[in-house]
Amino acid sequence: MRLSVHYTTAYHYSEPPRRIIQLLRMVPATFAGQTVLDWRVNVDCDARLRKARDGYGNATHMLYVDRPVESLAISVEGSVLTDDKAGLVQGLPHDLPPPVFLRSTPLTKAGPAVERIAEATVQSAAGTLDRLHALAANLHRDIRFDTEVTSIDTSAEQACAAGHGVCQDFAHIFIAVARRLGIPSRYVSGHLFRRDGRHVQEAGHAWGEAWVDDLGWTAFDPLNGICTDDAYVRVACGLDYRDAAPVAGARSGGGDEELRVEVRVSEAARQAQAQSQS
C-alpha cells in the first residue's frame, strides 16, 4: 500500500516558557517492506532542528526553541510504500545485536502477573515462533483495550495485573513475557492504517518485535493479535516506550500545559481519488 501520514503534536502553555528542548523520533527508515517516498518535519515557530541518530539506530531531531512562545506545534507528513512481509523485519539500515534486547527495564520488569502469562505460554505452545503467536493471541483475548486507566508510566506488570490498557501496555506486556522466556524483544512505535475507516486517531501505535532464530526480527501486534502487515509504518524502536517515544523533552517555565495529538493515516491512492472527486 501507499500510505499517507499526517501527525501533529500541539502544545499550548498558560504562560510562555523561556526555552523548550524536545527530542523527536518521528522519521521512519526504509527497509525491506517499507520504502519512505517523502517525509517532512515541520515546526510552527522559529526553532532550530538538529538531525542525529540514537543508539538504537532511530533517526532523531533535537528541537530548540530559544524564545518565549504561547504555543508549539510539531507536525510530520509524508508517504510510505509498504508490503506485507508477514511480520518479518529485514534490511534495517541500523541495528543492534539481539541479546541487547533481553535487558529488562522498569517498564518491562516481570512480576507475578507477567510470570503467570509466561508459564501459560510455555504450556500452550512449543518452539519460539509458536509461543510468540500464542502470546500475541492470548493478550488480544485476555487484556481489555481501555484508554482511561493507564499512563505513559504504567509498567507491564501493573497493566497485566489490572487486565487492561492501551497499545503501549499491550506491547510492554508482550515484551516482558518474551524476555522472561529468554526471547530478545523490543518496543516499536509507529503508525497504523485502520482498515475500518477510522483514519483519524488520537495517538500513534505501538507493538513489539521478537527475535526468532532462522527468521530474525518478527513483529507482533498483541493489541490486534496479529503479526504486522502492510498497514503498519515502523518509525522507532528501543527497550521500552521511553526509548521510542515520538516526543520527549523539557522546558523552562510555561505554567500549565495543554497537549493535543492528532494522527491521520490514509491510503494515498484513495485519498487522491477522493480529492479529485470533490
High-pLDDT (> 90) share of the chain, %: 87
Question: Cα–chain-centroid distance for residue 159?
Answer: 17
Contact status, residue 78 vs residue 3, Cβ threshold 8 Å:
no
Does 129 score more than 60 pLDDT? yes
Sign of CA dihedral 226, 227, 230, 231: positive
Task: Write down the residue that cell numbers 499512563 correspond to.
Answer: 151
| pLDDT tens digits, 228-240 | 999 999 999 999 9
pLDDT at residue 273, rounded to an integer: 39
Per-residue H/E/C for 139-174: HHHHCEECCCCCCCCCCHHHHHHHCEECHHHHHHHH
- Give the model's confidence band at 274: pLDDT under 50 very low, under 70 low, under 90 confident, else very high: very low
pLDDT at residue 202, rounded to an integer: 87
Residue range(s) of every CATH 3.10.620.30 domain in the chain: 88-244
Euclidean distance between CA atoms 155 and 210, whole angstroms:
19
Cα–Cα–Cα angle for 84, 86, 88, rounded to 5 degrees: 100
Q: Which of 58, 66, 60 is nearest to 92 (CA)?
A: 58
3-state secondary structure of 95: coil
Residue range(s) of every CATH 2.60.40.2250 domain in the chain: 2-82+246-277
Task: Write down the residue that cell numbers 532462522 correspond to.
Answer: 214
Q: Is 146 exposed, middle or buried (0-12, 13-18, 19+ CB in 10 A)?
A: middle
Q: Which of 52, 64, 78, 101 is nearest to 190 (CA)?
A: 78
CATH of domain 88-244: 3.10.620.30
Euclidean distance between CA atoms 210 and 175, whole angstroms:
8
Does 189 score more than 60 pLDDT? yes
| pLDDT tens digits, 58-90 | 999 999 999 999 999 999 999 999 999 999 999
DSSP tally for the chain: helices H, then strands E: 6, 17
Q: Which of 151, 222, 140, 214 is nearest to 187 (CA)?
A: 222
CATH of 2-82+246-277, picked from 3.30.1330.10, 3.20.20.150, 1.10.540.10, 2.60.40.2250, is: 2.60.40.2250
pLDDT at residue 21, rounded to an integer: 96
Sign of CA dihedral 106, 203, 96, 113: positive
